[in-house]
Amino acid sequence: MLRMISVTATALFAFFFALLARAEQPWTFANNTRYLAVGDSLSAGVGAIPATRGFPYLLYEQGVYDSMSNTRFANAAIPGATSQQVLSYQVPLATQTPFRPQVITMTVGGNDLLTILNGASFQGALQTFQVNLNLILAQLCTQLPGTRIYVGNLYSIQNFPVPTDQVVNAFNQVLAGVVGSVNAIQMCAGRIRVADIHAAFSGSQVGLLLINRNGAGQFEVHPSNAGHRAIAQAFVAAQ
């Protein structure tokens, strides 16, 4: 009986030792597609309930860039992030860590636009956005060879307390121009594409934005679950 217990204990010890040794092996990405979301509150899933119904999670779940079982997904987006903060904090996460994504989706510029409501000049905010976006995209595409980058443009808000069409159009023109110029860099070779979120929200916005709901705050600019689905479709169409 004692011998049987001893043999059993030895076998269990060997089994757990093998598990431990296996757990200590370095993690590798193998052939998985690495997908990273960066940017502001849209990419963070704000407005969706739960936040994991935000558009980047939908793209991952739907296997847009690779099957879900073969995709490594990470989200570095922060609500309230400006283009300067994306450049300073999120770009280094993408380019200087072992994750090194093969696909990046980004929403940026909305918080730069909102600085105008807080007293920033229109031209100043627009120029800051242009400079930062150029640096963001240039660093991502040159330091991550082969990575596909999808950047969403801005949508107008029909029921916002102040008109947004003119300002949003100006930001989107800058975004399209920056994407075109960075794509012309030999190392980028057209790897950056624009997801036309603006077009997805250009018709009726009923159900797409929280501002349209009864009792919503007049500055509630975030999309609903339906809005995040519309944004996800804009990124799908950009492929």
Is 193 within the bounds of a domain? yes
| 49-73 exposure pattern, b = at least 16 Cβ within 10 A, e = fewer | eeeebbbbbbbbeeebbbeeeebbb
Q: Which domain holds residue 172?
A: 33-237
Is 23 within the bounds of a domain? no
pLDDT value at residue 165: 93
Is 15 within the bounds of a domain? no
CATH number of the CATH domain containing 119: 3.40.50.1110
| 101-124 exposure pattern, b = at least 16 Cβ within 10 A, e = fewer | bbbbbbbbbbbbbbbbeeeeeeee
pLDDT value at residue 8: 46
Is 11 within the bounds of a domain? no
Is 17 within the bounds of a domain? no
Is 25 within the bounds of a domain? no
pTM: 0.87
- The C-alpha atoms of residue 72 and residue 69 are separated, in whole angstroms, by 8
Tens-place pLDDT, residues 128-167: 999 999 999 999 999 999 999 999 999 999 888 788 899 9
Is 106 within the bounds of a domain? yes
Q: Which residues of the chain fall short of a pLDDT of 70?
A: 1-30
Is 1 within the bounds of a domain? no
How many domains are contained in the chain? 1
Adjacency order of strands within the sheet including 103-107: 71-75, 33-39, 103-107, 148-152, 192-195
pLDDT value at residue 29: 56
